[in-house]
Amino acid sequence: MTAPLDVPGSTAEANPEAVLTGAGKSIQGRSLTRIAWMRLRRDKVALGGGIVVILLILVAIFQGPIISAFGHPPLEFHQDQIDPNTLLPKGAFGGMSSEYLLGVEPVNGRDIFSRIVAGAWISLLIGFLATMLSVIIGTTLGVIAGYFGGWVDQIIGRLMDVFLAFPLLVFAIALAGVIPDKGFGLEGNGLRIAMLIFIIGFFSWPSIGRIVRGQTLSLREREFVDAAKSLGARHGYILFREVLPNLMAPILVYATLLIPTNILFEAALSFLGVGINPPTPTWGGMLSEAVRFYTLPHFVLFPGLAIFITVLAFNLFGDGLRDAFDPRAH
């Protein structure tokens, strides 16, 4: 038999650093946020929705300069653009021109482009703040119900059932219709905006509350929670340091999907005449006024398109976020 070769120790032992670095490149871990961003970048539809959302937010924030550059004050009448005999806009396509990009309204001649831009601020403000209120209430009660369980879970669960069965639209119409002109240090449309945010946000929390409760029920059985309990950590520490950070992704996703629902709800209330008082421009209020002039499709089309594009963009972006944060989707 041939004796085995005598290999020197310097060549027989593998260098761990050479194995790990692999041609000089170190291995770096990827966080959940980075992985989600990589997935989201591959979803062109979701990215398109996100870009539209950002543009809408910028339009709402910088509405003043945009209106000054491309339109006229949204409350300003332009009777010279109205035919005195028919009370309809002069010219073709509802009076569209380089001066009035989307035409003018019948009877008063207000600039439709300026009113749509101004209405974006109201819709997004109510949509975002109502969603924030829903997220705060739903997350708080959902985490408490899912973590403690027992009779606490039973009480909060029944409360969710009551709110979900509540006829929200009927209640909102009744409550919004009796809002006084002054109250809580606010008056006029400022008070109505605050009340709409409260009504929409306060009664929309059970949907996200149930999602957070279900996620918390799963998280409280995980090893890191058991480890924190065995080390003597208090409930507050476990909730804020162990549970809530792992709930940020689903909360962000479902909040994004809740915003367009709240925007639609505000538009519905304005359409029914119990939202923001005219002449302040809102998309729902513009649709309500356009019903009388069904022979002018542009009067209905543009505010309807604004609502449609906004809701679609948020939904596409929210769906993309959900797929990006869901490991089972890939």
| Residue pLDDT, tens place only, 219-250 | 888 888 888 888 888 888 888 888 888 888 88
Task: Note the pLDDT of residue 3.
Answer: 52
Task: Note the pLDDT of residue 7.
Answer: 47
User: Residue 244 has which token pair?
Assistant: 């809530």
Q: Per residue in 111-148, is it b (16+ CB within 10 Å) or e — as a string?
A: bbbbbbbbbbbbbbebbbbbbebbbebbbebbbbbbbe
Cα–Cα distance measured from residue 177 to residue 283, given in angstroms and rounded to the nearest whole number: 19
The one-letter code for the residue type at 310 is: T
Cα–Cα distance measured from residue 144 to residue 158, given in angstroms and rounded to the nearest whole number: 14
User: Residue 31 has which token pair?
Assistant: 């966080």
Residue 286 CB contacts under 8 Å (≥ 6 apart), including other chains: 112, 115, 116, 119, 299, 303
Whole-angstrom Cα Rg for the chain: 28
Check if the beta carbon of residue 315 is closer than 8 Å to that of residue 257.
yes
On the question of a cis peptide bond just before residue 206, with omega within 30 degrees of 0, the verdict is no
Query: pLDDT tens digits for 67-118?
Result: 888 888 888 888 888 888 877 788 777 778 888 888 888 888 888 899 999 9
Q: Which of 98-112, 183-197, 211-225 has the lowest mean pLDDT?
A: 183-197
Query: pLDDT tens digits for 279-315?
Result: 888 898 888 888 877 777 778 888 889 999 999 999 9
Most confident of 122-136, 181-195, 284-298: 122-136
Query: pLDDT tens digits for 11-59?
Result: 445 555 544 455 445 545 566 677 777 877 888 888 889 999 999 999 9
